[in-house]
Structures are given as C-alpha cells and as structure tokens.
Amino acid sequence: IIEKDPLQPNGPPQTTLVEIGPRFVLTPIRIFEGAFGGATVFSNPEFISPTAVRSALRREKGNKYSHRKDAEEETQRRKESRQRGEDDLAVHKVFA
C-alpha cells in the first residue's frame, strides 16, 4: 500500500495497492487417481526433493575437500622430486 504519490504533492493522498509478487506457490509433485492413492495421473519429472539438494551440496563440499587434499599430495610429491641428493664434492666431505 502506497500512501502518497510523489507526483501529486498537493491534494488528498491517494491510496493505491501495488502487487509485490506471490507469497505462496505450490508445485505439484504427483497427482493420484484417488484422494490419497491409486494410479499416478501426473508426475513432475523436474521436481528435486530438498533432501536431494542438501545431499548434492554436501557431496560438492566433499569434492572440494578431496580436490584440496589431492593438490596437497601433488605439491608434496613435487617438493620431494626437486630435492637434490648429497653432492660428492660437498665441503664437509672434501675437507673431512
């Protein structure tokens, strides 16, 4: 409800009703032939249950963790492969 229109500053305030969108939406998942059972007349194949959404989010977080651990292992492997062995002409070997 809008109380005053800024385009009409003088005169009596005009009250108008503005629709701001739906508040409650029902998405049919399955419609049965009977009241609470029977053959399925309609089934919504695009419906994804909230449990499946939460499960996918948890799985994605798990994938993120496994990718990070794989990257840490790869970094450790590269560090180990870059290490040089002990040199035969090292100062402590030559002048020992």
Give the pLDDT confidence of 46-80 residue by residue, as tens digits.
Answer: 999 999 999 999 998 888 888 999 999 999 999 99
Q: Average pLDDT, whole number, for the chain?
A: 84
Query: Does residue 69 belong to any structural domain of this protein?
Result: yes
Domain coverage including residue 66:
46-80
- How many domains are there within the chain? 1
Phi-psi region of 38 (alpha: psi -120 to 50; beta: other; left: phi over 0): left
**Whether the model pTM is above 0.85:** no
Residues 28-38: pLDDT tens digits? 999 999 988 89
The rounded percent of the chain whose pLDDT value lies above 90 is 46
Tokens of 11: 């005169």
- Alpha-carbon gap, residue 30 to 34, rounded angstroms: 12
- Tokens 């090292």 belong to which residue? 90
Query: Does residue 65 belong to any structural domain of this protein?
Result: yes
Contact partners, residue 41, CB within 8 Å, separation at least 6: 31, 32, 33
